[in-house]
Amino acid sequence: MKHIPKENNFIFLLFALVFFLLLGAIVEQMHTDVGHVVVRSSSVVMLALGVWSFKGTRHRFWGAIGVLAAILAVVVIELILDIAGLRYTHLMLMLGFFIWTTWLAARQVLFTGSIDDNKIVGAICIYLLLGLIWTMMYLLIAEAVPDAFIGLQQAPWYDNFSELSYYSFVTLTTLGYGDITPNLPIPRFLAYMEAVVGVLYIAILVASLVGVRMSALNSPGE
């Protein structure tokens, strides 16, 4: 397989993240009987693309491959045996993977070289990853405590994925429509912490990246 240039790797990750979120919305809109299969299978595809986008990081890449293999095994067993306890394992592995990917992306965006278009795309990826990290935490809580959220149906996580992704990004961007609201102290804590992180990220990180990029473009000799 052809090696991905490090200067272009984030476009693959961005595609994977948007595809994962869009597919979840399409499945919910269509109310298909195989929706849970599509969502769980697409999580593996999305994670595979995410791993591939970091192929140049070697030992971190192989560590992510191990997590991906574990998630794939859990998904296959889930689909065959439908063991409820594996839902938590699946969500925990995905949560760990998103945190890991966010760390790898942040290291490349924040701590290497000058600002370029790829790093701007990387900053967008980190923002989407933050929303998905909180989505996984909300899904874990909703799976364990059915009445943790008002306005959310009691269903397995893959049926609530699109709803809680929507809630997570609405909270991250501080829109707060109010159609889904946390009903217990822990989800409330996670909600306001997500809002704080979202505001700080936009205000500090993205503004800084764009500012440095514009300064580089306007400086003499560029």
pLDDT value at residue 205: 76
Residue 191's pLDDT is 95
Burial 145-166 (b: 16+ CB within 10 A, else e): eeebbeebeeebbbebbbbbbb
Q: pLDDT value at position 120?
A: 84
Delimit the domains of the chain by residue range: 6-218
| Residue 10 CB-density burial (10 A; 0-12 exposed, 13-18 middle, 19+ buried) | buried
Q: What is the pLDDT of residue 3?
A: 45
- The architecture in CATH of the region 6-218 reads Orthogonal Bundle (1.10)
Is the distance from CB of 183 to CB of 148 less than 8 angstroms?
yes
**CA dihedral (17, 141, 150, 28) positive or negative:** positive
Q: Do 101 and 107 meet the contact criterion of CB atoms below 8 Å apart? A: no
Helix (H, G, I), strand (E, B) or coil at 149: strand
The answer to whether 33 and 53 are in contact (CB under 8 A) is no
**Tens-of-pLDDT digits for all 222 residues of the chain?**
444 445 667 888 888 888 888 888 887 777 665 555 656 566 666 666 666 565 555 555 555 566 666 666 666 666 666 666 677 887 888 898 889 888 888 887 876 667 778 888 888 999 999 999 999 999 999 998 988 999 998 888 778 888 999 999 999 998 888 889 999 999 999 999 999 999 999 887 777 767 666 766 676 554
Name the one residue in this structure whose structure tokens are 């989800």: 187
